Amino acid sequence: MDKRVLKQEMLKILQPEQVLADDLDLMYYSYDSSFLTKLERVYPDIVVLPRATEQVQRIVRFAYENNIPVTPRGAGTGETGGAVAFNGGIVIDLSTWDEIVEVDVSNMQVVVRPGVIHADLNNHLAKFNLFFPPDPGSSLMCTIGGMVANNASGLRAVKYGCTEQYVLGLEVVLPNGEVITTGGIRSKAIKNVSGLNLTKLMVGSEGVLGIITKIRLRCWPKPKARGIAMAVFSKLDDAPATVLEVYQAGILPSGIEILDKSAIKAVNQFKPEIGLPEDAEAILLFEVDGNAPSVEWEGTNIVEIAKRRATKVEWATDPQRMASLWEGRSVTATAAARVRPDGSRVFAGEDISVPLSRVAEALRAIRSLGEKYGIPVVNYGHIGDGNVHTAPVIDPENPAEAEKANQLVHEIHLLAIELEGSTTGEHGVGAVRRQYAELEHGEALKVMRLIKNAVDPKGIMNPGKLI
């Protein structure tokens, strides 16, 4: 469709400041955090920033009638190109629609619009002694809509699981412009097995089945106490072994994170005041939460267990120290770039997930793959559930290096499948991991496609992603 006509049509639905149609403006929507969108630049035909279900509905209906691709977008922190319009068309940027509609304290629920930022939500919920447990490293910037669409999790998935466990119901604008409510149109029930579980179908659907416009989340009481144990290892293999021993001792920490040698260095360069031990091969951060006596008990036992292999163990309950250790971990993703002065970490092959029993094997294999390609790989991540982030650090503007990095991450993805894991633990498939769908799902992929075709017969909703 002619871009001017498209703009005029959108202006019938939205205010001028909610429509971006200048060529220059559109360029800014050519990327998310993925390496792919650094290498390839594609622009949408228009960007719209709606703030009402009816607006989204009218936009989508118009797109449906005119066969225009639609790409939903949150904060654009995804690593898969999911929020980028590879087929052009309309980008619906939902990040300005950031209203917390209702905190239902007595039912321990919160209703939000998709653009609410994760950290803002938890700051707000803290006033009611509640929290929404999934804790992505991108907490400060990612939207709840993006989290639901990606079934995000993060640093606390060990104990609290992923976003899907907390979504009670969704309002979704379907590709034909119809609006549905999943989980029961009136239901605020926490347990609900009535009907096919469309909520679960939508969570993690990466925007290919519709636009999420309202989210009802279950919240949990905010734990009263918290502690972090940092264990320092001189052998990489000792880290996963210690994780298993902590579980075997009957302890379920709220988070278990690993940073390898280079990740430690990177964090220290960005935030020297955190002072992570540089003489280590790896460190583990165990977070425990709950009531004070149980935190103390679990902390003491973790420290005891870790001491068997660790060269040093620190137990922190001082809020400032805990905040800085946790921050250290959550900035690793980007700070990894620091290990090479002229380099950058790339978000590619960064999210494999393997069975707990094979984490050590995975870490060793990744290390030798890095050596094979001559590319430093920073390893960090949610080791407690086998979800390891591998950050190749390269000069992304050097085509030969970029090519090598792409070969490396391809091998990392195949490795994950070979180790009976998955190519992605939380970041999703998007455009970058679609090639592995057949290998991972076999016949089930056909059923996924049947569902997609039934919901989106014209294929306008986030084409080129997921399946």
Partner 1 sequence: MKFKELPPVKEQIRKCVRCGRCRTVCPVFAEVKNETVAPRGHVFMVQMLRDGVVKPDSKVYEHLSKCLLCETCSTFCPSGIDIHELNAAARSFITENQSNPGKRLVFDTLWTSPKLLRASTAFMWSANVTGLMKLARALHLTKVLPGDLPKAEQILDRVPFRSARDQLHETIPAQGKKKLRVAYFLGCATNLLHPEVALATVKVLTQSGCEVVIPRDLKCCGLPHIANGKLGTARSLLLHNFELLSRAKVDYIVTDCASCSSALSDKNVRFVLGQEEIDANLALTAGKVVDLTAFLVNVLDIGPGNLVKRSEHRLTYHDPCHLAKAQNIRKEPRELLRLVPGVELVEMAEPDRCCGGSGTFALTHYDMSMKILDKKMSAIRNTGCDTVATCCPSCSMQLAYGFRRSRVNGKVVHPVELLAQALP
| Closest CB 193 distance from ligand FAD, rounded Å | 25
Looking at 61, 334, 356, 361, which residue binds ligand FAD (CB under 6 A)? 334
Which of partner 1, ligand FAD, none has residue 396 at its interface (CB below 5 to 8 Å by kind)? partner 1
Total residues binding ligand FAD (CB under 6 A): 39
Here the tokens at position 367 are 């290390």
Non-local (6+) Cβ contacts of 364 within 8 A are 236, 237
Which of ligand FAD, partner 1, none has residue 111 at its interface (CB below 5 to 8 Å by kind)? none
Which of ligand FAD, partner 1, none has residue 145 at its interface (CB below 5 to 8 Å by kind)? ligand FAD
Nearer CB in complex with partner 1: 269/435:
269
- Give ∠ CA 247-284-418 in degrees, rounded to 5: 70
467 binds partner 1 (CB under 8 A): no
Looking at 70, 75, 144, 211, which residue binds partner 1 (CB under 8 A)? 75
Non-local (6+) Cβ contacts of 109 within 8 A are 103, 168, 188, 216, 217, 218, 219
Element (H, E) at 38: helix 36-39
Nearer CB in complex with partner 1: 25/314:
25
Within 13 Å, how many C-alpha atoms sit on residue 278's CB side?
9
216 binds ligand FAD (CB under 6 A): no
Contact code string over 63-92 relative to ligand FAD, x by CB under 6 A: --------xxxxxxxxx--xx---------
Non-local (6+) Cβ contacts of 267 within 8 A are 259, 274, 276, 328, 329, 331, 332, 335
For the four alpha carbons of 392, 398, 401 and 407, in that order, the dihedral sign comes to: positive
Task: Measure Cα distances from 448 to 165, 206, 238, 457, 458 in Å.
Answer: 21, 13, 40, 13, 16
Report which DSSP code applies to 242. Answer: H
Which of ligand FAD, partner 1, none has residue 341 at its interface (CB below 5 to 8 Å by kind)? partner 1
Looking at 6, 10, 21, 29, which residue binds partner 1 (CB under 8 A)? 29
Looking at 21, 346, 365, 415, which residue binds partner 1 (CB under 8 A)? 346
Binding region for ligand FAD (CB under 6 A) out of 10-18, 338-346, 423-431, 446-454: 423-431
206 binds ligand FAD (CB under 6 A): yes
Residues in the chain: 467
Which of ligand FAD, partner 1, none has residue 9 at its interface (CB below 5 to 8 Å by kind)? none
How would you class 194 by CB atoms within 10 Å of its CB: exposed for 0-12, middle for 13-18, buried for 19 or more? exposed
Contact code string over 138-177 relative to partner 1, x by CB under 8 A: x-xxx-----------------------------------
428 near 387, Cβ under 8 Å?
A: no
33 binds partner 1 (CB under 8 A): yes
The amino acid present at 98, given as its one-letter code, is: D
Nearer CB in complex with ligand FAD: 73/452:
73
Nearest CA to 73 among 52, 48, 42? 48
Put the strands of the sheet holding 70-73 in their side by side order. Answer: 19-20, 46-48, 90-93, 70-73
**Touching ligand FAD, residues 140-159 (CB under 6 A):** 142-143, 145-147, 149-150, 152-154
- Nearest-angstrom CA–CA distance, 176 and 384: 41
Binding region for partner 1 (CB under 8 A) out of 71-79, 286-294, 301-309, 458-466: 71-79
Which of ligand FAD, partner 1, none has residue 270 at its interface (CB below 5 to 8 Å by kind)? partner 1
DSSP readout, 303-370?
A: HHHHHTT-SEEEEE--HHHHHHHHHHHHHHHHHGGGGSTT-EE--SS--EE--GGGHHHHHHHHHHHH
Nearest CA to 388 among 332, 316, 448? 332
Which of ligand FAD, partner 1, none has residue 147 at its interface (CB below 5 to 8 Å by kind)? ligand FAD
| Closest CB 353 distance from partner 1, rounded Å | 21
Q: Which residues bind ligand FAD (CB under 6 A)?
A: 32-33, 71-79, 82-83, 94, 114, 136-138, 142-143, 145-147, 149-150, 152-154, 206-207, 211-212, 333-334, 426-427, 430, 462, 465
Q: Which residues bind partner 1 (CB under 8 A)?
A: 20, 22, 24-25, 27-29, 31-33, 37-38, 41, 47, 49, 75-77, 93, 95-96, 117, 119, 138, 140-142, 269-270, 331, 333-335, 337-338, 341-347, 395-397
